[in-house]
């Protein structure tokens, strides 16, 4: 019997719970695919390419689910930030290693330019997820090269991911300016591109994760440009 006083369903919470379940299931699926590939290695370049494509698409979906869940937790003030001292080179090498099968399958040459002694203070898990998402995006659009470097500039740690693809769309590219949250992104045209399927979720996620990192009144930020060093898109993450 309906008493007429049933509480309304919190759709955001239901959606977040569903996303969490989907993420866990997809993680298990990815592990099973990796185990299957190890037990029965691909015996031809075509099979290897198919496996890499499967892994790439599943990883993209998994990353999107993680971003959605993180954004929900961020808006609910439930996303903890664990800042600690870290070697930047180690983090970047780990992200390249995660994507090595796909890089090989697509014959993309990765380059890493980072002083092994360079140290940063950031949340390792959140920054690793951000950089991995950018690398996956670059793999999708580059022709055959990927350049990653990290350095100190104006008291910020800068992590740069560049490729030699056609570059970011003009509406996403804010030269010489910083993207300030969803308001800044929404001011650009074409936030959702139904042709390419782009929702700029990754861009929003990266912006918010950067902004979470603060020190002495300064906040992290990202910027997008096209051009040097490889002539394609250039993503930069600035952490105070």
44-85 residue pLDDT tens: 888 888 888 888 888 888 888 888 888 888 888 888 889 999
pLDDT in tens, 178-226: 444 444 444 444 444 444 445 577 888 888 899 999 999 999 999 999 9
Q: Tokens representing 165?
A: 């693809």
Q: In this structure, are residues 123 and 83 in contact, taking their beta carbons and an 8 Å threshold? A: yes
Question: Hunting for tokens 């951000």 — which residue is that?
Answer: 130
Query: 109-113 and 233-239 as β-strands: parallel, antiparallel, unpaired?
Result: unpaired
Q: Which of the four pLDDT bands, split at 50, 70 and 90, describes residue 95?
A: very high
Residue (of 70, 25, 23, 75) closest to 201 by Cα position = 70
More confident residue, 240 or 6: 240
What pLDDT does residue 198 have? 54
Q: In this structure, are residues 174 and 180 in contact, taking their beta carbons and an 8 Å threshold? A: no
- Which residues on adjacent β-strands are paired with residue 226? 233
């Amino acid at each position: 019997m309906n008493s007429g006083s049933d509480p309304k369903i919190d759709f955001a919470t239901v959606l977040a719970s569903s996303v969490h379940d989907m993420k866990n299931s997809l993680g298990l699926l990815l592990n099973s695919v990796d185990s299957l590939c190890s037990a029965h290695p691909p015996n031809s370049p075509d099979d290897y390419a198919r496996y890499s494509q499967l892994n790439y698409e599943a990883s993209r979906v998994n990353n999107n689910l993680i971003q959605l869940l993180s954004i929900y937790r961020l808006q609910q003030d439930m996303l903890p930030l664990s800042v600690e001292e870290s070697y930047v080179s180690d983090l970047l090498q780990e992200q390249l290693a995660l994507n090595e099968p796909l890089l090989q399958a697509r014959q993309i040459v990765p380059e890493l330019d980072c002083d092994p002694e360079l140290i940063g203070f950031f949340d390792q898990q959140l920054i690793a997820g951000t950089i991995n998402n950018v690398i996956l995006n670059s793999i999708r659009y580059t022709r055959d090269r990927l350049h990653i470097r990290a350095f100190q500039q104006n008291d910020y740690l800068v992590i740069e991911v560049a490729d030699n693809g056609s570059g970011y769309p003009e509406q996403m590219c804010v030269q010489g300016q910083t993207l300030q949250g969803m308001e800044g992104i929404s001011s650009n045209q074409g936030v959702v591109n139904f042709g390419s399927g782009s929702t700029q979720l990754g861009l929003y996620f990266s912006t918010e994760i950067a902004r979470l990192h603060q020190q002495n009144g300064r906040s992290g930020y990202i910027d997008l440009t096209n051009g040097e060093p490889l002539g394609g898109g250039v993503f930069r993450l600035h952490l105070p």
